[in-house]
Amino acid sequence: MLGVNESAYDPAKHTIISNASCTTNALAPAAKVLNDSFGVERLMATAIHAYTATQALVDRATKKPRRGRAAAVSLIPTTTGAAVATTRVLPELTGKMDAIAIRAPIPDGSVVDIAAELKRETTTDAVNAAMKQAADGKMKGYLAYTDDPLVSADIIGDPHSGVIDGRSTGVVDGRMARVLVWYDNEYGYAKRMVDIASYMASRE
């Protein structure tokens, strides 16, 4: 995953790879920054995700009853593979994290809410500083940071995997951190697909 573990790519071995999901591309970079900077004891993530083509306009029968409810009129809790996929690129978090998604009645623009228990004490300012340093440094182009008062419509068309909402970062009792990451689940993810293909070609 670009910004997380692309250095592990070996063209001689990796003939087929996965770019994971839009939510994983937003979650994993922020989780990596938290783990590298403060150590992650446990992490829970909730993705508030725009509805997708797998959902229905009106209620219908499906294998997953909630997923069959009308997409444009309800908040719909559902499963996500983002936690498992994140541990594939960050194996050090295996067994330490879980995630859920809530499909929202909007066509595009999503956010993942990360709650992490940290190993080392920190502050809100220190968490934001770590995110900003990563966004300006090794994760530039993939992770971004802003203090602007964003809403979901503002993220549409943003090319980053995720944008840290600095205003929403919080720390309780030194070791419980909250981080919000906005992402365009359509354009931002499509941009990563192009980027990963270009990266693979450059390594041939």
Catalytic residues: 22
Both tokens assigned to 140:
């530039």
Phi, psi dihedral angles at 143 (to 5 degrees): -110, 140
Q: d(Cα 16, Cα 173) in Å, to the nearest integer?
A: 44
For the chain, strand residue ranges (E) read 40-50, 76-78, 97-104, 110-118, 143-146, 162-165, 170-172, 176-183
Q: 116 near 179, Cβ under 8 Å? A: yes
Q: d(Cα 109, Cα 107) in Å, to the nearest integer?
A: 7
